[in-house]
Amino acid sequence: MSSQYQQRYSQDASSLSGPVRQRSKQACLPCRRRKRKCDGNLPCSICQGYGYECEFGNGPQPTNLKRPVPSGGSPQPRKATRLADPQEPPKQLTESSIFPGILEPSKARYVGRYSSIAFPLYVGLEVQATTIPRLHSFAYHTGIRKEPPCAVTCEAAQKISWNTMRSLLEVYTATVHPVFGFLDLDQVFMLCERHWHGQPQDMAFEAMISGVVATASLFSGTLDQDTEMWFILHQKEILEDCVISRFPSLEQIAAWIMRTIYMRCTSRPHVTWLSSCTAMHLVEAAGLHHASEFVMQTTGNATPSTEMFNIINRTAQVATCLHTLISFEYGRSIITLNSHSLDNLQPAGGEKDLTFQLCSLVAAVPTIRTGNPLSLMEELFSSLDKITDVAIDHDFLLLLRADLALGIYRRLRVMDSKFQQGHNDRVIAAGTAALPAARRLASQNQPWWNVIGTAFQFACALLVMDTPTSCETLVETMDTLEMIVDHLDTHLAKEALSTARQLVRASLDKKKRGVEALERIARDASPDPAVGGTNDHLQQDIAAMSPSLVAQLPLDLDSLWAMEFQLPL
């Protein structure tokens, strides 16, 4: 995939660091206005470097004037985001247009145009050097030590057979891919078949496919735990090797996404969050988060095909969704990339596209910022309404929706927010809908990370709500938790159930202490003459009334006096 990604971006390459500039018969309009030497190309190197819109006047056109023609359309002029020009009136600029970047497709590398790596190239254009410096980390360090060589030697094809690999691909296609749909499965299957039949692929592909094997084994139990762990460690060794990781690629990003999913299902919160952060940083490093009009390409002007663009877009979106979910749950900062292209986290697809539903849920997650507490609470309540209104067609997504609703509830609870009954009802409804989904996933041996976590967190929230509705729902929640723990029979599951029972007992003890205090007060209190006998006086007053007036009373006062009233919380 990475080779195709690079080839599709680097077709018809016209490098900025080409041969000596030739004098042109006619300069473009921006170069003529600024009195710069133009090479006569469209776009010329000056306009391409500074981000100007390159165009020529009505005079003789240069012989090498060629505009790229998109398929099925008419020639369009190349547009680029401009750098600030003091000779032109100021415009309303976005952050991306103020700080555009440079994409080097041959290495799948994106850097800011203001970075130290890009500045020598910028200076070369500024001083009109005959040979423009390449995009390179000049003088990044002293160079007194050599970089370590690649330490990865073994291949996944040597560990399991092709039949086993094919069955694991089928498991991954049926379980993980419907929700996190960012791989081109046909392409992956073809490359795997070649890899297992004597045509080795690059190490980035090796890392990605190791993640697929480990995750599919987790959901199917096909491999023993030692073999499964070997693939996870093999993937880690590849991803952390400095020779392999120096050039980011789609396969590397996919491998980190797979690693994050596996770590979320099996490891600790901090380690999982770091893995998701790495995936996000690689999305930025490869430039997947930027639209093409906001970058300058150092090699080639061709745009990716529609199929490749969809894979690139989905990869960036799934990485963003996964990182947002983990950060929001864990209470860590969320990495926000500087681009509008990820604002709408909804990939193309039909209504039944589960990745579409995943992105719809994450798009409703509130972006918590420091500010007015009232505005923060309003944002949280609004997000709660949006999340609970998203239509869901998968059990795992039902659990995710409940997790997000509970995450918002925890934040509002910490802020000491006054809940309305409707907001509590929304949280309870989301949690109640997740309980049968959790039972089904547990019975199907699909160990998604929130199979037990959602029920446990829901039980905690119900105890804090302490309403008649929450107490009734707590019964089903604890029954679900016990069923899942019996099925899993693991230390972590038993620990969660024990903690939930401990909290239930503590809540019960608190209520008993309150009832005992009220009973003691009622038992020890002496009758107050001003209050005592009120019922007798009331009966005497009624007896003194005329029969016709008594007949008009609509209530049975004896029954009314004996009623117990419950004030709303």
CB 362 within 8 A of CB 325: yes
pTM above 0.75, yes or no: no
Same domain, yes or no, for 261 and 387? no
- By the 8 A CB rule, do 175 and 394 touch? no
Pair 242, 148: CB distance under 8 Å: yes
Query: What pLDDT does 545 receive?
Result: 56
Highest mean pLDDT among 141-145, 222-226, 550-554: 222-226
Whether residue 260 is contained in a domain is answered as: yes
Q: Give the count of domains, the chain.
A: 2
328, part of any domain:
yes
Residue 95 has pLDDT above 70, yes or no: no
Residue 272 lies in a domain: yes
- pLDDT tens per residue across span 117-169: 778 887 888 888 888 888 888 888 888 988 888 888 888 999 999 999 999 99
- Domain assignment present for residue 276? The answer is yes
Residue 564 in domain: no
Same domain, 377 and 472: yes
Sheet with strand 109-112: strands edge to edge: 109-112, 101-104, 295-297
Average pLDDT, rounded, for the chain: 79
Q: How far apart are CA 292 and CA 102, in angstroms?
A: 10
Same domain assignment for residues 263 and 402: no
Quote the distance between the C-alpha of residue 478 and its chain's center.
30
Do 313 and 188 share a domain, yes or no? yes
Do 409 and 466 have their domain in common?
yes
**Are residues 443 and 511 located together in one domain of the fold?**
yes
pLDDT of res. 548: 55
Domain stop point among 336, 354, 383: 336
What band does 50 get if pLDDT is binned at 50, 70 and 90? Answer: low
Q: Which range has highest mean pLDDT (82-86, 333-337, 462-466)?
A: 462-466
- pLDDT at 70 (0 to 100): 42
Higher pLDDT, 335 or 340: 335
Return the pLDDT at 118.
Answer: 79
pLDDT exceeds 50 at position 17: no
Question: Taking 80 as the threshold, does the pLDDT of residue 96 lie above it?
Answer: no
Does residue 56 sit in helix, strand or coil?
Answer: coil
Sign of CA dihedral 193, 194, 200, 206: negative
Residue 123 lies in a domain: no
Q: Are residues 193 and 310 in the same domain?
A: yes
C-alpha distances in Å from residue 332, one per residue of 269, 326, 504: 10, 8, 29
366 or 538: which carries more pLDDT confidence? 366
Average pLDDT on 8-15 reads 39
Please indicate, yes or no, whether residues 261 and 383 belong to a single structural domain of this protein: no
Q: Last residue of a domain, which of 316, 336, 356?
A: 336
Instruction: Answer yes or no: is pLDDT of 92 > 70.
Output: no
| Structural domain span for residue 383 | 371-520
Cis omega before residue 19 (within 30°)?
A: no
Question: Are both 508 and 385 inside the same structural domain?
Answer: yes
Phi and psi based region of residue 272 (left: phi greater than 0; alpha: psi -120 to 50; beta: remaining) = alpha
Query: Does residue 229 surpass a pLDDT of 90?
Result: yes
Instruction: For residues 278 and 253, give the distance between their C-alpha atoms in angstroms, rounded to a whole number.
Output: 9
Q: Do 181 and 315 belong to one domain? A: yes
In a domain, 219, yes or no: yes
The per-residue pLDDT for 537 is 58
Mean pLDDT for the stretch of residues 337-349: 54
Cite the beta strand spans of 338-405 per DSSP E.
Answer: none
Per-residue pLDDT band at 349 (split at 50, 70, 90): low
Asked which of 477, 495, 520 is the last residue of a domain, the reply is: 520
Same domain? 514 vs 402: yes
Mean of pLDDT values over 420-437: 91
Query: In this predicted model, what pLDDT tens digit does every residue of 388-415 receive, in sequence order?
Result: 999 898 999 999 999 999 999 999 888 8
Is residue 563 situated within a structural domain?
no
Same domain? 400 vs 253: no
- 191-216, pLDDT tens digit by residue? 999 999 999 899 999 999 999 999 99
pLDDT at 374: 82
